[in-house]
Amino acid sequence: MSAISRNEVEYVAKLARLNLTEEEAVKYTEQLNSILEFAGKLNELDTANVPPTSHVLDVYNVMRDDEVRPSVEREDALRNAPDEEDGQFKVPAVME
Amino acid sequence: MSLFDKKLADIHTELDKGELTVSDLVNASFERIARTEDKVKAFILLDEENARNRAKELDEQQSRGEEKGLLFGLPAGIKDNIVTQNVTTTCASKLLANYNPIYNASVMDRLHAAQSVTIGKLNMDEFAMGGSTENSGFHNTYNPWNKDYVPGGSSGGSAASVAAGQVYFSLGSDTGGSIRQPAAYCGVVGLKPTYGLVSRFGLVAFASSLDQIGPITKNVEDSAYVLQTIAAHDPFDSTSAEVDIPDYISALSGDVKGLRVGVPKELMGEGIDPEVKEKVNAALKVLESLGATVEEVTLPHTEYAVPTYYILAPSEASSNLARYDGVRYGVRADNAENLIEMYRETRSQGLGAEVKRRIMLGTYALSSGYYDAYYKKAQQVRTLIKQDFDEVFKKYDVIIGPTAPTTAFKIGEKVNDPLTMYLEDICTIPVNLAGIPAISVPCGFASNGLPVGLQIIGKAFDESTILRVAHAYEQNTDYHKARPEL
């Protein structure tokens, strides 16, 4: 049985905001299956009592003082924008 | 002798005596690039005007007799996923072909303070995903030792450029071996520091719990100098460690008497090329002759490291790259009728095959219903892998093995077979999962004429010891002095 079907691949692409060509959908179904099959090896291990790694170092919450600091200038923030108008990022219509 | 074969200390002495200027160094770098770049293709961008201006500035400073920074005047190449203010930073992705950052990565500020000179931005696998630099959105980089072979990846440009003598040193980033593996393939020294030792602020994230910036150099001493410059706590990076930074340069004593070396049988077993094993064994003999003791040890979960990595790294990558929407920066697809279609078209047109494959895999592994089976399971196995290292380090000072199972492979040989390519990182990945430091140094050449890398792994924040061992080994061999003919 394959771990991931063609339909699931298309659903995952939708979640990931990717359009797949026919060729990509076929190729990724095959490749994701072989990688997931490979990852299935992890099931050989009993991890019922093993805590998941959340951080490799003993680091706790990092806090800083709540001080007002200068922010990025609007002109700089917009400098790389593909499209902008009146000091704002411009995007295609959100609603119909 | 080329300018870049000189030791850092000798270069600084010549600068002081007025026998050399920073402009001479920078000219030598651009001359070497002009002569070799069509064979190597290490760079995405050359920043010639800024570099020459900076050289003049430093020459004037020298003439005023001011105190010099640790890396004063040294030409540096920077992997193109490290953000540089006012210099295009592409991550080798078509999506970011026009991205001109408004700020510097913290490591760039530190290099600037240490007064090195940035020559340009180096090629890589797109968003650091890959092991051969064949996944660059722009062009391949070639192994300086033989242009039919890959330089390794994802810091392939960083390793090739240093091996080709184009820059004095470079910075790379290492998520599953991306500094050490290309360093091994190109016959140079690559260091992956402990997770958190070097700030990731301004490093374009691939897998945030694994990524770490580190130096690629021609010898171990230079590696210590660059690490000394870039290691520091950074309040801009919440995963940056607050630890005292030791003096890495004075740690290079050459003494390894009484050092306890563990050699994991899993890294010297099946799947490792016999010639690679032979070179590693010869290197261990050198260390023994210097007074170290060498014993076989076990890291029992090594065989699970690659599948663990190929769940965790794509999961984090899909999450990081989910932020790329084409709104605030980068290249946006034209003619989308609505916002969602703009996201989809932009990402579909701009991202390469390997990056899409990993986004797909990561999105699946994190999706509802599969999270426990894949992501959580992998984080549990990661704990076991880390415990393996903790166990060995109770008795041993360093762990030594090969950096990669083979020498560099041919261009095109593995590009359509991701699983086989992923196995090239089998020796380096466990180190990233455990967050500990490791260095790759040249330890000989295989019969195909390509370099072999020796990997020395240390305890968390014990860079001093791995640098000391690597340096002692280097002082007793000549492999690091070999240069490719270009």
- Measured between beta carbons, the chain B residues lying within 8 angstroms of A94 are 338-339
* Token pair 């210099």 in the structure block, residue: B87
Q: Using CA coordinates, name the residue in chain A closest to B208.
A: A55
Q: What is the pLDDT of residues B174-212, one digit of tens each?
A: 999 999 999 999 999 999 999 999 999 999 999 999 999
Query: Structure tokens of B430?
Result: 């466990």
Question: Which domains does chain B show, CATH number per domain?
Answer: 3-259 (3.90.1300.10)
Question: Whole-number mean pLDDT of chain B?
Answer: 96
Q: CA A58 to CA B196: how far, in whole Å?
A: 11
The residues pairing with B287 across neighbouring beta strands, listed in sequence order, are none
- Measured between beta carbons, the chain B residues lying within 8 angstroms of A26 are none
> Which amino acid would we find at residue B52?
R
The answer to whether residue A63 neighbours chain B at the CB level (below 8 Å) is: no
Which residue in B181, B260, B197, B251 sits closest to B220, CA to CA? Answer: B251
Contact state of B383 with A93 under an 8 Å Cβ cutoff: no
Mean pLDDT, rounded, for B423-431: 94
The pLDDT confidence band at residue B417, using thresholds 50, 70 and 90, is confident
* Complex-level ipTM: 0.94
Cα dihedral B190, B193, B198, B201 sign: positive
Query: Structure tokens of B342?
Result: 């703009």
Q: CA B179 to CA B447: how far, in whole Å?
A: 24
Q: CA B388 to CA B235: how far, in whole Å?
A: 31
| Model pLDDT, residue A2 | 62
Query: Structure tokens of B287?
Result: 């260390």
Contact state of A57 with B351 under an 8 Å Cβ cutoff: no
The answer to whether residue A17 neighbours chain B at the CB level (below 8 Å) is: yes
| Model pLDDT, residue A94 | 84
Mean pLDDT, rounded, for A14-30: 95
Mean pLDDT, rounded, for B372-381: 96
Contact state of A77 with B102 under an 8 Å Cβ cutoff: yes
The pLDDT confidence band at residue B1, using thresholds 50, 70 and 90, is low
CB atoms within 10 A of CB B56: 13
Q: What is the pLDDT of residues B315-350, one digit of tens each?
A: 999 999 999 999 999 999 998 999 999 999 999 999
* B368 annotated active-site: no
Question: Whole-number mean pLDDT of chain A?
Answer: 92
CB contact at 8 A, B412 and B251: no
End-to-end CA distance of chain B: 15
Q: CA B48 to CA B75: how far, in whole Å?
A: 11
- Measured between beta carbons, the chain B residues lying within 8 angstroms of A18 are 344, 347-348, 351, 356, 359-360
Q: CA B31 to CA B401: how far, in whole Å?
A: 37
| Model pLDDT, residue B215 | 98
Contact state of A47 with B380 under an 8 Å Cβ cutoff: yes
CB contact at 8 A, B272 and B405: yes
CB contact at 8 A, B126 and B84: no
Q: Which residues are CB-neighbours of A49 under 8 A, at least 6 positions away?
A: none
CATH code for A6-44?
1.10.20.60
Residue A1 class from Cβ within 10 Å (0-12 exposed, 13-18 middle, 19+ buried)? Answer: exposed
- Domain segments of chain A: what residues? 6-44
DSSP per-residue letters across B20-47: --HHHHHHHHHHHHHHHHHHH--EEEE-
| Model pLDDT, residue A1 | 44
Query: Structure tokens of A91?
Result: 């995007």
Q: Which residues are CB-neighbours of B189 under 8 A, at least 6 positions away?
A: B183, B215, B216, B217, B218, B219, B220, B222, B223, B439, B440, B441, B442, B470, B480
Q: Which residues of A64-90 are buried (b: 16+ CB within 10 A; e: fewer)?
A: eeeeeeeeeeeeebbbbbbeeeeeeee
